[in-house]
Structure 1
């Protein structure tokens, strides 16, 4: 770490480029990144949740068997939980703005986003299962829903974790 001429704050290199950034700049950058990510995730979960809420009022809903109704209820609860987790960073910011807690807000918001993304993936998987069970006969629906959930697991979790491990290894190897 080096010190900047304009402040006595320690600086670190931004992982996206070689420009040094102070701790305050880093937390501000992370906060803006979380806000952008939240906007994308919130839009998706709100559209999906709105669709789910309307399903109960369709004529076909009355024909669902007990298992499909249970999947529907679980899906709505997961969607509501995902919505809550993905909107929570906004509430955190509103309640804690000006309290000099940005580090804690950013850390908590990041965790809520991860939780919300898991809940969103489960909501999408259950929605897909419900739709495919109505459209496809036999065990195809479960197999396709499981395949899509595996794909989400790879894209949303396994790949980022693999890249993080690779970067940590590279960083460890580059240390003097």
Structure 2
């Protein structure tokens, strides 16, 4: 399926056709570059929490995630202990999954450790594809790539968790490492 024209007359990727949080995310954020450690850690964390759930669930809970994870300040999250994990397990405004919460803490600690090298942003950007995809139809779209597999392995070697190749591919799309919009979508090539 190619881009769909919404009730507003605009062609978009098919998953963003109707008004609401998904279309807003598509139009304003998805595929746009972000900058800074906190922005990268937020997207990495939210992609991990999204695994097995709908993205709209995560988007609706994002304000609470930002609050309880201190704006995704890696240093603040890295200082979390078991009592913080237990507190988050009781927080009904977020996804309460112990493995994902613990992975968020682990990844914050690994992000802090990366500061002594190139940092999280530069590390992730180092896996950008030489030949970005340009799909015209959803049947052409991939869920992993050579680069997402390599990014997954690289992050795991540096102590990150819950960073599988599919999750890393979704991260690469979300943060604009390449333009994920279908050819014909109004957002394709806009950033």
Structure with larger RCO (C-alpha < 8 A, sep 6+):
2
Higher helix share: 1
TM-score, with normalisation over the residues of structure 1? 0.26
Greater Rg by CA = 1
TM-score, with normalisation over the residues of structure 2? 0.25
